[in-house]
Amino acid sequence: MMRNGSLIVFTNYGAVPDDFLDELIVTTAHDPPFVFIEETAEGGFHFSGYLVDLWKILCQELNVTYRIVPQSSSGYGALLANGTWTGMVGEVVNQVGIQSRGYGTSTGMVGEVVNQKADAILSWLMHREDRAAVIDYLDWVPVFSSAQRFYLRSGRRETASLTSEAVSSLLQPLHTHLWLLLLLSMLVLSVGLTLTVRLNRGRGETESTCRQFSLGSSVLAIFMTVTGQGWSVLPACLSARTVTVSSWVLGILISINYTANLMSYLTVSRPEAPISSLEEFIANEDWTLVMEEGYGSVGDWARNSTPARRDLYRLITERSRFAPLDGTVENMLRATQPRTLVLYDLKLIFHRVGSEACRLVQLPSEELPEEWTVPEYLVLRKGLGHLRDRMNHVLQRLLQSGAVDRLRRRWFGHGRRLCAAVAAVRPLTLADLAAVLAVTPLAAAAGCLLLGGELLVRRLSRRRDQQRRQGTADSAARGRAGAAAGAARARRARSLPSIFSCCERQLNTKC
């Protein structure tokens, strides 16, 4: 056991085999707080940082000598669509002849491992299958858990647009559960009002009142109370009035809370994203993408089914509207400026620029849960399997002893940075009221459609009534005609005996 500053580490893991007695070449890049690279007066470099301290402990435990060299190319390492590795991984892979397997040429940190320039990468790399095919991860213990997301400086949408988001803002003052409870309460009160009125028919309620408080009319009446409207007719019985008073109290409480929360939602200043999706970023040509070189997923974007991702890949490869992060504070400050979309971990942005990171918000369409993180690992070139196993054992022991956590606290600080809450009230804009103002024309349009439907139904009903009356008149006419014909037949029948009698008298006279 030995002490390294405030850290206690464990030794005597045994000497490494003879094939590891040569000096390891370690490539890295300036990436605070993981690695700080400072040029000395003699023209050399001084290395410090979280990963540098961790690497020193690893090599001391295993009696391994090493030499750290700044990377000759930029970025971590991504496999592009043309089979070319970028970044530090490429400087490791060719150490074991990976190029003959069809992985193409390599640049950057991955490229330095690929191209026989380095044995290890002193950086934090996420595990990917394409990388694992050409390098080895020290994957027993992650050195960092990153949450890289798309961020942009908060701003305001001043242009009015009736989007689903604007319409949903009308529901924001109340939680979804409260809206469902409100609907259920209105339904219960409507049923209760109908039953209390119907059960008091003849004892306290007139026939007219009972007809006016059918179930449908009761639902409308309860809705009117919730919206602060009165009724033209009130029930007379005590039970029905109790239901009525309950609905009025519910309406007052809901109206007060909804109005207050809606005004707060519309007027209290809060961070908002000027654009909401990658498609909007591509469409606005004055926006710039800022991210680290050799980000592992860049190659996947070329084959992504989403056109916006493929456009991002094109911008990066063409170096158009793209600015790489280089680890400096000035460069990171640029990433927090307006009309800039940055892909990075917010904790690291806080570490670089402090409170300026409070101005950043996630891109809404790419928003991920806060707990979603990706483990990151140290990397060795292929062919150092025995050394990799021993380093994994040492890292696991350092994690169990708490040494890794103490190193993280030393370089990353304690706890989580919090942004100060800013209480500010802003004037309402047309964009805020777009959904509210749209209610009137939408209601007028709905009213016109309903009126047209009612007129159509009324015309059809009138036509059916006319046809029914016409049928009734025809039936009556046919009935009258039949009766007249019957009377005529009866008269003829009655006149026959008188004719026969007359003829008989005449015959008798002649005789």
Q: Are residues 259 and 175 in the same domain?
A: yes
Q: Are residues 142 and 241 in the same domain?
A: no
Q: With beta carbons less than 8 A apart as the criterion, state whether 362 and 151 touch.
A: yes
Among the candidates 243, 267, 291, a domain finishes at: 267
Residue 47 has pLDDT above 80, yes or no: yes
Residue 20 has pLDDT above 70, yes or no: no
Give the CATH number of the domain where residue 359 resides. 3.40.190
pLDDT of residue 115: 57
Q: Tell me which of 201-215, 223-237, 368-382, 493-507 is least confident.
A: 493-507
Q: Are residues 257 and 278 in the same domain?
A: no
pLDDT of residue 26: 92
Q: Tell me which of 265-269, 462-466, 501-505 is least confident.
A: 501-505
Give the CATH number of the domain where residue 53 resides. 3.40.190.10
Q: How many domains does the chain have?
A: 3
Is 103 part of a structural domain of the chain? no
Q: Which residues pair with 89 in a beta bridge?
A: 110
Is 493 part of a structural domain of the chain? no
3-state secondary structure of 18: helix
Q: Which residue reads 């409100």 in tokens?
A: 182
Distance CA 271, CA 82 (A): 40
- 477 versus 103: the higher-pLDDT residue is 477
pLDDT of residue 254: 77
3-state secondary structure of 40: coil
pLDDT of residue 102: 37
How high does pLDDT run on average in the chain?
78
Q: Are residues 355 and 316 in the same domain?
A: yes
Q: Are residues 127 and 186 in the same domain?
A: no
Quick: pLDDT tens for 269-321. 667 788 889 999 999 999 999 998 877 788 788 888 899 999 999 998 888 89
pLDDT of residue 98: 38
Among the candidates 356, 372, 388, a domain finishes at: 372
> Sign of the CA dihedral 328, 329, 335, 338?
negative
Asked if the peptide bond before residue 375 counts as cis, ω within 30 degrees of 0, the response is: no
Q: Are residues 301 and 405 in the same domain?
A: no
> Sign of the CA dihedral 199, 201, 204, 209?
positive
Other Cβ atoms within 10 Å of 328 Cβ, number: 12
Report, as an integer, the average pLDDT of 205-229.
Answer: 83
pLDDT of residue 429: 57
Distance CA 250, CA 256 (A): 10
- 138 versus 495: the higher-pLDDT residue is 138
Q: Are residues 309 and 391 in the same domain?
A: no
Longest distance between any two alpha carbons in the chain, whole Å: 175
pLDDT of residue 300: 84
Domain of residue 365, residue span: 151-155+272-372
Q: Model pTM greater than 0.85?
A: no
430 confidence band (pLDDT: 50, 70, 90)? low
Distance CA 402, CA 7 (A): 9
> Ranked by mean pLDDT, which of 70-84, 150-164, 393-407 comes out on top?
393-407
Q: Are residues 192 and 178 in the same domain?
A: yes
DSSP letters for 165-197: HHHHGGGTTS-HHHHHHHHHHHHHHHHHHHHHH
Is 499 part of a structural domain of the chain? no
Residue 90 has pLDDT above 60, yes or no: no
> Sign of the CA dihedral 323, 326, 329, 330?
negative
Residue 95 has pLDDT above 60, yes or no: no
Q: With beta carbons less than 8 A apart as the criterion, state whether 429 and 166 touch.
A: no
pLDDT of residue 486: 74
Residue 437 has pLDDT above 90, yes or no: no
Half-sphere exposure of residue 87: CA atoms within 13 angstroms, side-chain side = 27
- 145 versus 438: the higher-pLDDT residue is 145
Is 223 part of a structural domain of the chain? yes
Residue 472 has pLDDT above 50, yes or no: yes
Give me 303's structure tokens: 């084959």
213 confidence band (pLDDT: 50, 70, 90)? confident
Q: Are residues 261 and 295 in the same domain?
A: no
Residue 256 has pLDDT above 90, yes or no: no
pLDDT of residue 249: 83
Quick: pLDDT tens for 318-370. 888 999 888 888 889 988 999 999 999 998 998 888 888 888 999 988 888 87
> Ranked by mean pLDDT, which of 22-31, 96-105, 155-164, 493-502 comes out on top?
22-31
pLDDT of residue 226: 78
Q: Are residues 65 and 137 in the same domain?
A: yes
Among the candidates 267, 299, 329, a domain finishes at: 267
Is 30 part of a structural domain of the chain? yes
> Sign of the CA dihedral 370, 372, 377, 382?
negative
DSSP letters for 320-377: SSEEEE-S-HHHHHHHTSTTEEEEEEHHHHHHHHGGGGGGEEE-GGG---TT--EEEE
pLDDT above 90 as % of the chain = 23
420 confidence band (pLDDT: 50, 70, 90)? low
Is 215 part of a structural domain of the chain? yes
The H-or-E segment that residue 254 falls in is helix 238-267
Cα angle 394, 32, 36; round to 5: 80
Is 292 part of a structural domain of the chain? yes
Phi-psi label, residue 317: left if phi above 0, alpha if psi -120 to 50, beta otherwise: alpha
